[in-house]
Amino acid sequence: MVTCEAGIASVQQAIKDIADGNFVIVIDRESRENEGDLILAGEKVSAEKMAFLLSHTTGIVCASVTREQARVLDLPAMVQENQCAFKTAFTVSVDASSGITTGVSAADRTRTVQLLSDPTSISQSFVRPGHVFPLVSQPGGVVKRPGHTEASMDLMRLAGMYPCGIFAELVNADHSMMRQQQILDFAEQHGFTVITVDDLITYRWTFDSLVEHVSSARIPTKYGEFFIHVYKSIIDGTEHFALVKGDIREQESVPVRVHSECLTGDVLGSCRCDCGAQLDMAMRYIAEQGLGVIVYLRGQEGRGIGFGHKIQAYALQDLGYDTVEANLQLSFPIDAREYGVAAQILKDLRLTSVRLITHNPKKFFELQRLGIHILDRIVLPVIVSSENERYLRTKKDRMGHWLNFPVLNESEDEYETVERTSCC
């Protein structure tokens, strides 16, 4: 198993390699393209390096650019309606307008990339179409969109390079796509550093400041007085908040609940899920302890698919699909949530270590991977009803949640039981 520390060390080496003008390899998520790309800083390209790139890849040479670069260089979208599954933002292809022949040779494509990497280039520096394919990187990089375009741009920024990286997909001798073991063998043969997109995401959540504190105030609740601290993501502008009980600064073993927004459960009292009950019990538990934090992550409806799509999933569940099948039927991941914002909020609150209130192993291990020191897990009751029992069993059986069924008053400790209710 590759540790978080190993992943961060690999990213640090990759950043150095990019700055030194060497290739690095970035492997995409298995759920996306599941491919490895050779990446090089555009300003470090040479005809020799371009020839190597062309010899070991598909030969489709892409160049990451920013939105501003695309505007200045007059690089409109290749098509008006992007039908690509991953919305890869191709612009019109380009060749250098001078200093080349047909544009397709290694030397010619090197010249084109050099112009894309030159801050003095203008629209007239290029002809269209051509043999190099600029791709517009999403602001926010891999945290916003976990693709090779954004990985390339993030590596350029972290290495202090001009924001233009070139990349192409690795292939075998028969031009089939290289997969993980083949990529690792190729990297070892040539001495290239290999990282994953997820390594880069973890690195950015660990070292970049991606949330900002907005405001704080006292907030009286039915469970007593808390303080609310509002944070804004600088990636997408979404506002999240932390409810804090007691003086948590530099404290150890602080009870923490990281809660994903669920309007139907938290506000409307829906019995389809246990979200509202989890939030309510976490507030009650923390109030009784006199110390704790609830981080409320907005924009995570339906395990990250959005409110409207969650309601579509509900309709599918009424037709017999379970909560996992419904997401997949709508072409969404089973669980699209990520917890980088929560980790940064907890770090800003200056907690030394936490006891996490959760049944969700993905949340537990991802927060650990993002540098949160979790001492142990607090188990609060699971409220089971006729409406949500199938949902809860699906979470246990198909998503690996730490739930025990059937349980009724299993423990004398009310915070370690699964409760059954007549709700709904």
Cβ–Cβ under 8 Å, residues 63 and 166: yes
Detail the residues annotated as belonging to a binding site for D-ribulose 5-phosphate. Answer: 32-33, 37, 145-149, 169
Output the CA angle 323-324-328, nearest 5 degrees: 120
CATH topology for 4-205 is DHBP synthase (3.90.870)
Structure tokens at 378: 């607090």
Detail the residues annotated as belonging to a binding site for GTP. Answer: 257-261, 278, 301-303, 323, 358, 363
From 157, 272, 337, 369, the catalytic residue: 337
CA distances from 47 to 26, 50, 173, 186 (A): 22, 5, 21, 21
Provide the whole-model pTM.
Answer: 0.86
Detail the residues annotated as belonging to a binding site for Zn(2+). Answer: 262, 273, 275
Q: How many CA atoms lie within 13 A of 57 on its CB side?
A: 22
| Domain residue limits, the chain | 4-205, 211-300+337-420
From 157, 335, 377, 393, the catalytic residue: 335
Residue 162: which of 279, 31, 63 has the closest Cα?
63
Q: Residue 61: enclosing H or E segment and its boundaries? A: strand 61-65
Structure tokens at 113: 């990339």
Q: Identify whether 393 is a catalytic site residue.
A: no
Cβ neighbourhood burial of 200 (10 Å; 0-12, 13-18, 19+): buried
Residue 314: which of 263, 258, 363, 280 has the closest Cα?
263
Q: What is the DSSP string of 301-349?
A: HHHHT-HHHHHHHHHHHHTT--HHHHHHHTT--S-----HHHHHHHHHT
- The band of 5, judged by pLDDT with boundaries at 50, 70 and 90, is low
CATH number at 211-300+337-420: 3.40.50.10990
Cβ–Cβ under 8 Å, residues 118 and 69: no
Detail the residues annotated as belonging to a binding site for Mg(2+). Answer: 33, 148
Average pLDDT, the chain: 93
pLDDT of 124 strictly over 80: yes
Q: For tokens 């990497």, what's the residue?
A: 117
pLDDT of 244 strictly over 60: yes
What's the confidence (pLDDT) of residue 419?
A: 43
Q: What is the DSSP letter of 356?
A: E
pLDDT of 409 strictly over 50: no
**pLDDT tens by residue, 57-66:** 999 999 999 9
Detail the residues annotated as belonging to a binding site. Answer: 32-33, 37, 145-149, 169, 257-262, 273, 275, 278, 301-303, 323, 358, 363
Q: Identify whether 337 is a catalytic site residue.
A: yes
Rounded to an integer, what distance in angstroms lies between the CA atom of residue 40 and that of residue 24? 7
Work out the average pLDDT over 340-365: 96
Find the radius of gyration of the CA atoms of the chain: 25
Alpha-helical regions (H) of 208-318: 263-266, 275-289, 301-304, 307-318
